[in-house]
Structure 1
Amino acid sequence: MTSVEIEYCVPCGLLDTAVETQTRLLDEFGQKLDGVTLSPGHGGVFIVTADGETIWDKDAHGAALDLDLIVEAINDRLPAEA
């Protein structure tokens, strides 16, 4: 299974965005995931990783969050259902 971590900037007020991302992933994949954890950070960070691999980085993709892209990238990592 897949573990997802969302590191977000506390001083920037990105908690709501992190919770929105976490909720979307849990709604979409539920028990197919080992978990979706939130990790407080600083310095403008917003990084989504799956099993240690970066899926989304605000610095690389720009400030506009693309939840559909994140969902697609996570879905690609999950094993196909039998």
Structure 2
Amino acid sequence: MPEVEIEYCVPCGFLDRAENVQHVLLTTFGERLDAVTLRTGANGVFRVTVDGERVYDKQEDAFDVDEIVRRVREHV
């Protein structure tokens, strides 16, 4: 089963955003995911990876929870 990691900038206050994405992914995919982990970061980072493959990066994409879910779905 896929593992999702959400890396978020602590100084930027992105914890709420990271927890929201985590909650939506767990609610949407449930037992089809092995884990959805939060990883602390800095320098404005907000990245979502599935099994090490980047599916979302704040530096490249507009923040959209529905789009993140669609991209994760491709790996589930």
In structure 2, what residue type is equivalent to 1:3?
E
**66, 69, 72: which is aligned to 1:71?**
69
Partner secondary structure for residue 11 of structure 1: coil
State the distance in 2 between where 1:16 and 1:48 align.
Answer: 15
Correspondence list, 1:23-62, <5 A: 23-62=23-62
Q: Which runs of 5+ in 2 are unaligned?
A: none
TM-score (norm 1): 0.90
Larger Rg: 1
More helix by share: 1
Correspondence list, 1:10-29, <5 A: 10-29=10-29
TM-score (norm 2): 0.97
Partner secondary structure for residue 69 of structure 2: helix
How far residue 27 of structure 1 moved from its aligned partner, in angstroms, is 0.3
How far residue 76 of structure 1 moved from its aligned partner, in angstroms, is 1.2
How far residue 21 of structure 1 moved from its aligned partner, in angstroms, is 0.3
Partner secondary structure for residue 60 of structure 1: coil
Q: How many residues end up aligned between the 2 structures?
A: 76
CA-based RMSD of the aligned residues comes to 0.7
State the distance in 1 between where 2:74 and 2:45 align.
Answer: 24
What percent identity do the matched residue pairs reach?
51
